Structures are given as structure tokens and as C-alpha cells.
Amino acid sequence: MTERLEQYAILLDIILIDRIPDPALKDRKTLITLHWKPRARILRWPGLCLGAVVMSYFGVLSYPQPAFAYHTSYRQFDVWSDRPIDAGISTVLDDATRRMSTSELYSSDQKFRVFFCNATWRLGLYALFQTKVGGMVYSWLTPNIYIRNSVIAENRIVSPRKGPMRDAAHRPLSYFIAHEATHVMQARAFGRFYLPFYPTWLNEGYADYVGKAGDFDIADNIRLLKANDPALDYQQSRLYRGYHLDVAWLMDTCGMSIRSIYAHPPSEKEIIKVLKTENPNCALARTN
Ligand SMILES: [Zn+2]
């Protein structure tokens, strides 16, 4: 083992300082001591510092409770905020629960933690510097749900962009909470470390499917898809509506369960190809 470690050390010496050791040098330990170790020490500290910063940041993301001044509990939710929490939060959470309970991944004994980041800098801190998002959860790391500044009494988030919020009628604050909570449920059902490897259309499409709780017209959206409407293209609209259509069609039209779709996710290209045909049929779903 020691012999092999020394060989690795010499290899690193070659890689790090671009120097081929003298083949006549018989004492490898001398070579390591003279050449590799000092340079390794120089490299070690920045590496350790960077590692410490990353671990500290993950700690901040995982345990943000002390940084939020206000807290309340309601049903299976714990809610924190950087501003006083409006009493209307119970109505919002009731509606979020109604949406979440349409999912077969939901159970009433699951707990959810929601953090309202009303200050933009705070959202940037907890949403990995993305200040335009409505909500965010890094379910592979923590089940914490972060929500942007919101008007709880009116069940809405404040638009992240100038002008009216896109698709606002179908996306109240309770939708955003249910969407992010669905990511938590997906992580619990399919594995937090495996979830990022499932297709984006499936993860986001199902979160929207649950978040909107049936507030979605499949036939109308197929019509828009065939017309190449930008609302169904995430790259253009930043909406998950196209992904939602894929999932809604597989589940509501073809009768698939979400667990069976996750077991064998079809290709999104294939789904879109079928949906654009004259009479989309479920043969694709049945072969998966
Ligand atoms: Zn999402």
C-alpha cells in the first residue's frame, strides 16, 4: 500500500509541477519530501478553506431557522419569515394542502418547512443567488422550502419581474408552496440523491400537476402545443406548462400512476411527437 501511495505521489508531482522525476533517484521518499510535499501543503490550505466555505454554506441552507425572526406552526407546516406572518397563512396552507393531497405521494404525517424570504438579498442567499424565482427547494440537500416575498393576505407572491406575473390566475402563493412541497415528496418517494437524475420534464411537470390540482385543460394545451405557442416552451416562457401537459396527458388521459411513470419515464420528445399527431393515443404510455 505504501509503495502505491508513493507512486501516486510521484504521479501528482509530475502533474502538479510538470516535472519528471529523475529515474536515477532511488529513494522515492526523498523525492516526495523534497518536491511534492511542500507544494501539496501550498495547495492544501486553499482547498481546505474552499471546502469549509462550501460546508458552511450548506449548513446555512440546511439550518436557517435562527436567521428568521418570525415563526408559526399550522397543521403539518412549520413556517418562518423575516417579517411578521399574516393570519391569512392558515387559509393559504389549507389551500396548499388541498393541492398536495391530490398526489399519491402525499400523506398527512409528512412535515414541511417553509421559509419566506421577503428581502431580496435573503432570497439570493437561500436560493443559490437566484432572485427571480417564486420558490426554491434543493431536495437533494434539505427539505426546506424557500418562497420569495409574498402578500400572504392576498394569497400571492410579488412578481419577480416588472409588470404582471405570468400565468398569475393559475399560480397563487398556495400553488408555489404546493409545487415546492411536491419536490420534497418526490425526494422522499424516489430518493433525494436520485431525483436530480430523473428528467426535468417529469420532476417539474409533476410538481406543477400537483401544484395546480386539476386547474388545467389538457385539450386546450394540446391545441397550443400544436400551434407552437411559446407558453408551452420553458426556454421562452419560463413556465412549466409544457412539462405539465406531458404529465397530465400520461396520468389523466392514459391512466398511468406517477410511480409507474417514474419507474420507466418515456422520452419527452416522443410524448410531444405523439401529442402533435391528429389523434394522440396512449400506445407510447403502454409500452413504458
Ligand atoms: Zn420546481
The 3-state DSSP composition of the chain as helix, strand, coil percent (nearest 5) reads 55, 10, 35
Assign residue 177 the CATH number of its domain. Answer: 3.40.30
Residue 71 has pLDDT above 90, yes or no: yes
Distance (Å) from CA 240 to ligand 1 centroid: 8
Q: What angle do CA 211, 95, 107 make, to 5 degrees?
A: 70
Report pLDDT for 42: 65
Identify the domain containing residue 241 by its residue range: 199-288
Better-scored residue on pLDDT, 22 or 224? 224
Whole-number Å distance, alpha carbon 10 to ligand 1 midpoint, is 47
Provide the whole-model pTM: 0.81
Looking at the structure, tell me whether residues 173 and 70 fall in a common domain.
yes
Ligand 1 centroid to Cα of residue 205, in Å, is: 8
Work out the average pLDDT over 117-146: 91
- The dihedral of CA 176, 178, 179, 185: what is its sign? positive
Q: Which three cell numbers stand for residue 121?
A: 438579498
pLDDT digits (tens, 9 = 90+) for 93-120: 999 999 999 999 999 999 999 999 999 9
Quote the pLDDT of residue 37: 58
Residue that wins the pLDDT comparison between 276 and 61: 276
Query: What pLDDT is attached to residue 20?
Result: 47
Q: 57 and 82 share a domain? A: no
CA 109–ligand 1 middle distance (angstroms):
22
The domain total for the chain is: 3
Distance from the alpha carbon of residue 282 to the mean position of ligand 1, in angstroms: 26
Q: Are residues 124 and 244 in the same domain?
A: no
What's the confidence (pLDDT) of residue 2?
A: 41
pLDDT at 176 over 90: yes
CA nearest neighbour of 77 among 152, 147, 145, 158: 145
CA of 259 to the centre of ligand 1 (A): 18
Distance 204 CA to ligand 1 centre (A): 5
Residue 13 pLDDT exceeds 50: no
What mean pLDDT comes out for the span 173-195? 96
- 150-158: average pLDDT: 97
Cα of 12 vs centre of ligand 1, distance in Å, is: 42
Query: CA of 211: how far to CAs of 18, 95, 132, in Å?
Result: 55, 10, 19
Over residues 194-206, the mean pLDDT reads 96
Same domain, 73 and 193: yes
Dist CA 213 CA 168 (whole Å): 15
Distance in Å, CA 219 to ligand 1 centroid: 23
Name the domain boundary from 138, 173, 197: 197
Picking from 197, 227, 242, the residue at the C-terminal end of a domain is 197
Asked if residue 95 and residue 189 are part of one domain, the reply reads yes
More confident: 287 or 19: 287
Is the confidence at residue 9, as pLDDT, over 60? Answer: no
CA 171 to centroid of ligand 1, rounded, Å = 13
Question: How many angstroms is it from 63 CA to the middle of ligand 1?
Answer: 21
pLDDT of residue 151: 97
Q: How many whole angstroms from 176 Cα to the centroid of ligand 1?
A: 9
Residues 23-44 have pLDDT tens digits of 555 555 555 555 555 556 666 7
Instruction: Give yes or no: residues 147 and 213 share one domain.
Output: no
> How much distance in Å is there from the Cα of 208 to the middle of ligand 1?
7
Q: Are residues 183 and 100 in the same domain?
A: yes
Per-residue pLDDT band at 135 (split at 50, 70, 90): very high
Q: Among residues of the chain, what percentage have pLDDT more than 90?
A: 66
CA of 40 to the centre of ligand 1 (A): 42
Cα 285 → chain centroid: 26
pLDDT band at 1 (very low <50, low <70, confident <90, very high): very low
Question: What is the predicted pLDDT for the residue at 114?
Answer: 98
pLDDT at 26: 53
Strands (E), the chain: 70-74, 77-81, 112-116, 135-136, 144-147, 150-151, 156-157
Nearest to 145 by CA among 179, 169, 99: 179
pLDDT given at position 5:
43
Would the pLDDT of 16 be above 80? Answer: no
**Mean pLDDT value across residues 76-85:** 97
Query: How far is ligand 1, taken at its centre, from the CA of residue 148, in Å?
Result: 14
Whether 58 shows a pLDDT value over 50: the answer reads: yes
Which pLDDT score is estimated for 12? 44
Domain match, 134 and 232 both? no
214 CA distance to ligand 1 middle (Å): 17
Point out the domain boundary residue: 197, 217, 245. 197
